[in-house]
Structure 1
Amino acid sequence: MRTALLAHRDGARVYAGTHSTGPNTLGFAETLVGVLREAGFGHEDAARTALTVVHFTVGHTLEEQAALQPGDQGPADPEQLGEALTAARFPHLTAALPVFTSTDFTAHFEFGLGLLVQGLRALHRPEPAG
């Protein structure tokens, strides 16, 4: 989904807030919910998981596309943010400054998606076969 949104200028902005009933969107949703149902999730959890994945993907891609617009310096202006942070007042933010100013959106996305997957694993632990 992220790849499809990134393939179009402002793809996430155009998609955000829509409630498409087209065959491609419904097919994607059917497949996602189906995979979750086959993994043992109930209807409600599967639907809410699908919404969570879509919302995370659209939100992340919206921020990514906005940061990459011509004239924009990325997710955060490293110089401006660096000037605003003082190690004494914001030690944790200062230490993490390279992450906040990174344009490695794939790494950011994969980390977030990994957190969602870990949470889903914790939510749904299939009973051992036997």
Structure 2
Amino acid sequence: MVKVATERLDRIRVARTALRLLNEVGLEGLTLRAIAKELDVKAPALYWHFKDKQALLDEMATEMLRRMAADMQESDPSADWREGLAAAMRRLREHLLRYRDGAKVYSGTHFTDMSYAGPMEAHLRMLTVAGFTPAAAARAWLTAYSYTIGYVIEEQAMGPDPATGAEGYDLAARAERLAEYPLSAAAGEEMFAGRDAGFEVGLAAVVAGVGAVLLG
């Protein structure tokens, strides 16, 4: 009898399958049972690798980071820190948007290996070469990173929703509800439309603020 070789079940294979399934069902629909079905195994088999869903999310975020790091060009410590920091945040947003609920999966997790260390060291070195103290460089990076994560969480939460086909936030309905509050009503176009342009405006404000408060 000839044995058919099967792919070994390990943490990385499970995480990659979960990321693929994430785009179909979203974070709420992503269960260990659904992932096991996709892998054609029994759900208890996954508990050999992950004690709970949070442990799986940690591995998924780490796999996202590995892919991100593989796409990144080596950081030039002598490059203008403003351009370098902004470019890193654009890449982060681009990668998070590749996955449904990607920012929610990525935020608040604990990486399971050292994939983050090399890129982080390069970015912090760029900032310290530009004159930031190590503490200020860390704060500058965290500030820009937090802005980007938060922006994408809101961006993805507002749609469009791949599951329902909804186009996203109904600005006309919002303006109608806020008819007695004209400034708040008008703010909807700036806050919820033109997401790419909005991200860039906010990012420029963050980078300028980081320079004004933390450098020198």
Q: Normalised by the shorter chain, which TM-score bucket?
A: 0.7 to 0.9
Gaps of 5+ in 2: 1-91
Gaps of 5+ in 1: none
Structure 1: distance between partners of 2:172 and 2:214? 44
**Counterpart AA for 2:181:** F
Q: In the alignment, what sits opposite 2:144?
A: 53
Q: In the alignment, what sits opposite 2:41?
A: none
Using CA pairs under 8 Å that are at least 6 residues apart, name the structure with larger relative contact order, 1 or 2.
1
Q: Does residue 83 of structure 1 match 2:173? A: no
Structure 2: distance between partners of 1:108 and 1:23? 33
Instruction: Give the aligned length.
Output: 122
Summarize the alignment of residues 38-49 of structure 1 with structure 2, pairs less than 5 Å apart: 38-49=129-140
Report the more deviating stretch, 8-17 or 35-44.
8-17
> In structure 1, which of residues 106, 117, 120 is the aligned counterpart of residue 207 of structure 2?
117
* Closer, same or farther: CA 14–125 of 1 in aligned 2, 3 Å: closer
Q: TM-score, normalised by structure 1?
A: 0.79
Q: Percent identity over the alignment?
A: 38
Q: Who wins on radius of gyration, i.e. which is larger?
A: 2
Summarize the alignment of residues 91-130 of structure 1 with structure 2, pairs less than 5 Å apart: 91-102=182-193, 104-124=194-214
Q: Is the Cα contact below 8 Å between 2:97 and 2:103 reproduced in 1?
A: yes
The structural deviation recorded for 1:4 is 1.3
Q: TM-score, normalised by structure 2?
A: 0.51
RMSD: 2.0
**Counterpart AA for 1:81:** R
Structure 1: distance between partners of 2:97 and 2:131? 31
Q: In the alignment, what sits opposite 1:12?
A: 103
**Counterpart AA for 2:127:** L
